[in-house]
């Protein structure tokens, strides 16, 4: 079994897993999609500051960050799953509806606040529908980009889920 960070060296602990480098993470079979409220500080007149910290807010070591921006209303993004990587999605501006499928559970999340993050564990099918023009989303990832980690065919995803 491969850990959520995409590394294959791991040790099992009763409280979860740890990889060769000592990163603690959840048992991938027990992890579930979850919405997290991030710490936000509003300094009147100067704007707001929002923080997402590894192992406190984001439940995995962060190895890659990317963002989607200038997204037009009505398009769909993602439509894939990751074999081993976890993701943490934050809608920085605009509005999206995220549909997740994990096991037999399908869930819908409407996101429009920069102080909310959606944890997406590995083997979760995700689809993002953009609900407002000029939307920007930030994605924190547990591993570097690796095309072989992506599952882009839903029928293949269903087969892998059953194994």
pLDDT in tens, 104-122: 999 999 999 999 999 999 9
- Name all contacts of 105-110 with Cβ < 8 Å and 24+ positions apart: 105/32, 105/33, 107/33, 109/35
Catalytic one of 36, 69, 80, 82: 80
Residue with the two structure tokens 């609900």: 131
Quote the CATH superfamily of domain 31-162. Jelly Rolls (2.60.120.10)
Q: Tens digit of pLDDT for each residue in 46-66?
A: 999 999 999 899 999 999 999
Q: What integer pLDDT is reported at residue 31 of this predicted model?
A: 79
Q: Would residue 80 show up in a list of annotated catalytic residues for this protein?
A: yes
- Ranges of each domain in the chain: 31-162
Beta bridge partners of 99: 108, 127
Write the CA distances from 24 to 4, 12, 14, 63, integer angstroms: 10, 10, 12, 15
Closest CA to 5 of 79, 64, 68: 64
Does the global pTM surpass 0.95?
no
């Amino acid at each position: 079994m491969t850990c959520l960070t995409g590394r294959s060296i791991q040790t099992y602990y009763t409280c979860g897993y740890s990889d060769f480098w000592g990163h603690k993470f959840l048992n991938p079979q027990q992890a579930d999609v979850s919405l997290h409220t991030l710490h936000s500080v509003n300094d009147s007149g100067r704007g707001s500051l929002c923080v997402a910290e590894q192992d406190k807010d984001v439940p995995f070591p962060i190895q890659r960050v990317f963002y989607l921006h200038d997204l037009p209303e009505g398009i769909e993004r993602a439509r894939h799953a990751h074999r081993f990587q976890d993701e943490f999605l934050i809608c920085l501006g605009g509005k999206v509806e995220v549909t997740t499928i994990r096991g037999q559970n399908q869930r819908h999340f409407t996101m429009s606040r920069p102080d909310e993050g959606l944890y997406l564990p590995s083997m979760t099918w995700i689809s993002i529908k953009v609900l407002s023009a000029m939307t920007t989303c930030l994605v924190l990832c547990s591993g570097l980009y690796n095309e072989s980690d992506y599952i882009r065919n839903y029928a293949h995803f269903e087969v892998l889920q059953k194994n």
